[in-house]
């Protein structure tokens, strides 16, 4: 299909976005006439699966915007569209149901890292499939548009980006093919898919970067918003505690049953998992790590120079660019000045070299410098002697003669080094052998028996390691180390080997069973439910009391008088104040009464539910002092930058919508519904 180039799109000659089974939408407007809309685009796209894996480092607002945009690859489409047909068509290319299912599965696995108990049916019910499809379609459309306008990504660039991803690098800091393939396998991503994803994201970033970063807002437009940020509000708040209200009669059986059913989630034990694990450390290979006499002797003979008698020296030196300057410093030192003082007088600084051998000094400077320094007596000055660095003047501060050591004298040291080295190799071999056994189909029990490991079966624990039947019990460190992975695993997954914290060893573990979330029987929690019924009554009564106080204040009664008229014993009211900039910068951490004051009219009151059903707050706004940003140019500048980012993001959203229309995008609602049923297991 021919895709309109940028020029024809910009003049409005694009096709409308169509959705099968619905009324076609109007064609997206050109950017030049598009108004700014509410910011929604980035809230939909800041959930990157590949973006998290690749960790692209982009600049400025591009990094905030489109590095996080999950522009998913759609390689390997195949023809398996399933009942209902493909889920979408972009630029003449179909998106089959199988591709959407694969992408939803990847995103669900990412979401489970933050919410381990989330099942895929719930993820789909929360809109996960539609959001994933949006990212797929956006990526395809933007890539097609970029390619139609002559933009390309070379294979060399893709390979360079892969090699630069830290997750794919080994201990040497270089790209490791084995680690690369292992990570792709664990993430269920093929190499072809990853390469296509990188190429697509690179194109999108190149295409969208100038759009996102180009928006600017004038000072005249930004100043009123800056004034709002500096606006200061002062008021009071008072708590009407739920516990200050009467408890009433004992709850009836019907009240308890009704409350229990209505709040069943409060009394539900979350999903739990039973994990089998077996820890092992270097003690498991202690016998294999013990060095023999022959190995100790071989190591000694191979490193005789290390154990031979040697001489080390402590030196002070200064390096001068020219020989004349070096001669002058040397003469001053020989005349009684310290080398440090002579160097300082010449505008230089002397340096100290401690406990150095001749060969090491030669490597640092030159053989001539080393020969001079090691031929001079203690306290003498050597040089000037030339090296590639300049002219060296060296003073010998101390000479130490270190006696050589025989095999017997070095035996203990060599044995310790060999033990450490052999233990590390033996542990690596043991881990490899265990993993090989697992890959050949051995179960957890079979592997533990084969390698003499002691298996432990955990109780059914929640994702934080708590055993609801023994809430005071502390989970074993070996279980804690694998708990997150265990809650990401699925029933039937192979056992795995994980490292223990602090390089203390390893643990073989396997998921034995999954215990679904289950409500506790009412008999077990009856007392708690009864108390909750009473607290709910008190909370309702506190709401009524707060409502009456607010009504009186808004009719002109003082806050203090309105609170006295409740007849309740209440804690004293408090005065609070804050600016709108504090409300913005603290992002939800500001005290709720202060936050509420910024949605109130001056000299008015509102009620606010206190946290954890502790009662209700009465909030009164006493004074509003308008902000003046004219004396704070930095606030205006920051406001301009913030509004510019929002404007850029809105431009990006409108650009993406217009590109989708330009290349031709169709969403098949029947195919999406069929895919969602398949993903959710028919639910």
What percent of the chain shows pLDDT beyond 70?
86
Q: Specify the 3-state DSSP secondary structure of 114.
A: coil
Pull the structure tokens for residue 323: 């020989």
**312 in Cβ contact with 370 (< 8 Å):** no
Higher pLDDT, 10 or 221: 221
492, exposed or middle or buried, with CB in 10 Å at 0-12, 13-18, 19+? exposed
Q: In whole angstroms, what is the distance from residue 145 CA to residue 143 CA?
A: 5
pLDDT band of residue 63 (cuts 50, 70, 90) is very low
Residue recorded with tokens 């300049």: 390
Sheet with strand 604-609: strands edge to edge? 574-579, 232-241, 615-625, 604-609
pLDDT in tens, 380-395: 999 899 988 899 999 9
| Contacts for 628 with CB less than 8 Å, ≥ 6 apart | 227, 230
**51 in Cβ contact with 161 (< 8 Å):** no
pLDDT mean over 263-269: 92
Q: In whole angstroms, what is the distance from residue 385 CA to residue 366 CA?
A: 9
**320 in Cβ contact with 348 (< 8 Å):** yes
User: How are beta strands 18-20 and 615-625 bridged, if at all?
Assistant: unpaired
Radius of gyration of the chain (CA): 36
pLDDT at 682: 57
Residue recorded with tokens 């660019």: 321
pLDDT band of residue 55 (cuts 50, 70, 90) is very low
pLDDT band of residue 151 (cuts 50, 70, 90) is confident
pLDDT at 199 over 90: no
Q: In whole angstroms, what is the distance from residue 307 CA to residue 301 CA?
A: 9
pLDDT at 368 over 50: yes
Residue 619 backbone class (left: φ over 0; alpha: ψ -120 to 50; beta: rest): beta
Report the Cα 217 to chain-centroid distance in Å.
32
Q: Specify the 3-state DSSP secondary structure of 386.
A: strand
pLDDT at 22 over 70: no
- The torsion of the CA quartet 224, 225, 226, 229, rounded to 10 degrees, works out to 120
pLDDT at 494 over 80: yes
Instruction: Indicate the domain borders of the chain.
Output: 22-217+642-679, 232-269+524-625, 272-283+432-516, 310-402
pLDDT at 355: 86
| Contacts for 24 with CB less than 8 Å, ≥ 6 apart | 16, 17, 18
Distances (CA, A) of 593 to 179, 557, 569, 576: 52, 20, 21, 8
pLDDT in tens, 526-558: 999 999 999 999 999 999 999 999 999 999 999
pLDDT band of residue 661 (cuts 50, 70, 90) is very high
pLDDT in tens, 71-110: 333 333 334 445 568 999 999 999 998 889 888 988 888 8
pLDDT at 308 over 70: yes
pLDDT at 59: 25
- Tell me the CB-side half-sphere exposure of residue 482, using CA atoms within 13 A: 26
Pull the structure tokens for residue 298: 């071989």
Q: Which helix (H) or strand (E) holds 24?
A: none
DSSP string, 591-620: -HHHHHHTTS-TTEEEEEEPGGG-EEEEEE
What percent of the chain shows pLDDT beyond 90?
44
**550 in Cβ contact with 244 (< 8 Å):** no
Distances (CA, A) of 252 to 26, 242, 265, 408: 60, 20, 21, 86
| Contacts for 614 with CB less than 8 Å, ≥ 6 apart | 239, 241, 242
Nearest by Cα to 514 from 110, 158, 119: 119
pLDDT at 440: 93
452, exposed or middle or buried, with CB in 10 Å at 0-12, 13-18, 19+? exposed
Q: Specify the 3-state DSSP secondary structure of 253.
A: helix
pLDDT in tens, 225-256: 899 889 999 999 999 999 999 999 999 999 99
Q: What secondary structure letter does DSSP report for 354?
A: E
pLDDT at 587: 63
pLDDT at 396 over 60: yes
Pick the CATH number of 310-402 from 3.90.1150.10, 3.40.50.2300, 3.40.50.12780, 3.10.50.40: 3.10.50.40
Q: What backbone phi and psi angles, to 5 degrees, belong to 551?
A: -60, -40
pLDDT at 487 over 80: yes
pLDDT in tens, 204-218: 888 888 877 777 888
- When the pLDDT of each residue in the chain is averaged and rounded to a whole number, the result is 82
pLDDT at 37: 27
Higher pLDDT, 1 or 579: 579
pLDDT at 585: 75
pLDDT in tens, 270-299: 999 999 999 999 888 888 889 999 999 999
pLDDT band of residue 56 (cuts 50, 70, 90) is very low
pLDDT band of residue 45 (cuts 50, 70, 90) is very low
pLDDT at 357: 87
pLDDT at 476 over 90: yes
Write out the E strands in 219-350: 232-241, 268-269, 272-280, 310-320
């Amino acid at each position: 299909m021919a895709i309109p180039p940028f020029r024809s799109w910009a003049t409005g000659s694009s096709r409308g976005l169509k959705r099968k089974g619905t009324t076609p939408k109007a064609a997206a407007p050109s950017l030049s006439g598009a108004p700014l809309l509410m910011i929604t685009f980035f809230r939909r796209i800041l959930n990157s699966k590949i973006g998290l894996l690749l960790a692209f480092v982009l600049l400025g607002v591009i990094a905030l915007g489109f590095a996080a945009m999950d522009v998913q690859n759609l390689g390997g489409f195949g023809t398996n569209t399933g009942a209902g047909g493909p889920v979408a068509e972009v630029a003449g290319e179909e998106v089959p149901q199988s591709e959407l299912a694969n992408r939803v599965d990847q995103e669900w696995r990412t979401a489970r890292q933050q919410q381990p108990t989330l099942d895929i049916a719930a993820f789909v019910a929360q809109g996960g499939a539609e959001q994933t499809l949006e990212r797929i379609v956006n990526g395809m459309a933007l890539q097609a548009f970029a390619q139609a306008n002559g933009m390309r990504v070379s294979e060399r660039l893709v390979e360079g980006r892969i090699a630069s991803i830290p997750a794919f690098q080994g201990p040497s800091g270089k790209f490791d093919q084995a680690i690369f393939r292992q990570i792709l396998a664990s993430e269920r991503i093929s190499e072809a898919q990853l390469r296509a994803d990188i190429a697509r994201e690179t194109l999108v970033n190149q295409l969208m970067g100038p759009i996102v970063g180009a928006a600017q807002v004038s000072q005249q437009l930004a100043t009123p918003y800056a004034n709002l940020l500096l606006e200061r509000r002062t008021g009071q708040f008072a708590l009407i505690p739920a516990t200050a209200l009467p408890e009433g009669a004992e709850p009836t059986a019907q009240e308890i049953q009704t409350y229990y059913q209505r709040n069943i989630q409060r009394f539900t034990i979350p999903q739990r998992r039973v994990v089998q694990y077996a820890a092992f450390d270097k003690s498991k290979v202690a016998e294999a790590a013990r060095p023999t006499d022959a190995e100790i002797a071989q190591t000694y003979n191979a490193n005789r120079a290390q154990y031979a008698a040697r001489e080390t020296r402590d030196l002070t030196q200064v390096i001068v660019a020219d020989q004349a300057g070096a001669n002058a410093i040397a003469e001053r030192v020989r005349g009684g000045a310290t080398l440090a003082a002579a160097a300082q007088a010449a505008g230089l600084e002397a340096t100290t070299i401690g406990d150095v051998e001749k060969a090491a000094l030669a490597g640092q400077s030159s053989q001539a410098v080393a020969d001079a320094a090691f031929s001079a007596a203690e306290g003498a000055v050597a040089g000037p002697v030339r090296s590639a660095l300049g002219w060296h003047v060296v003073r010998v501060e101390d000479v130490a003669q270190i006696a050589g050591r025989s095999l017997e004298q070095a035996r203990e040291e060599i044995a310790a080094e060999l033990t450490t080295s052999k233990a590390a190799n033996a542990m690596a071999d043991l881990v490899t052998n265990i993993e090989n056994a697992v890959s050949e189909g051995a179960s957890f029990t079979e592997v533990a028996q084969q390698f003499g490991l002691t298996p432990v079966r955990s109780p059914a624990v929640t994702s934080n390691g708590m055993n609801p039947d023994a809430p005071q019990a502390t989970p074993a460190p070996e279980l804690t180390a694998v708990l997150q992975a265990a809650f990401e695993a699925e029933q039937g997954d192979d056992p795995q080997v994980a490292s223990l914290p602090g390089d203390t060893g390893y643990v073989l573990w396997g998921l034995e069973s999954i215990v679904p979330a289950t409500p506790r029987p009412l008999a077990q929690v009856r007392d708690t439910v009864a108390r909750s019924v009473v607290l709910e009554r008190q909370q309702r009564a506190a709401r009524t009391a707060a409502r009456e106080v607010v009504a009186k204040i808004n009719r002109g009664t003082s806050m203090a008088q309105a609170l006295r008229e409740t007849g309740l014993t209440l804690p004293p009211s408090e005065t609070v104040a804050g600016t709108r900039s504090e409300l913005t910068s603290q992002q939800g951490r500001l005290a709720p009464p202060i936050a509420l004051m910024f949605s109130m009219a001056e000299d008015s009151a509102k009620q606010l539910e206190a946290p954890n059903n502790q009662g209700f707050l009465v909030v009164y706004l006493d004074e509003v002092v308008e902000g003046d940003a004219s004396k704070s140019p930095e606030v205006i500048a920051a406001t301009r930058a913030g509004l510019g980012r929002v404007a850029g993001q809105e431009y990006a959203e409108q650009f993406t919508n217009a590109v989708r229309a330009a290349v031709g995008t169709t969403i098949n609602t029947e195919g999406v519904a069929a895919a969602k049923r398949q993903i959710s297991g028919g639910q």
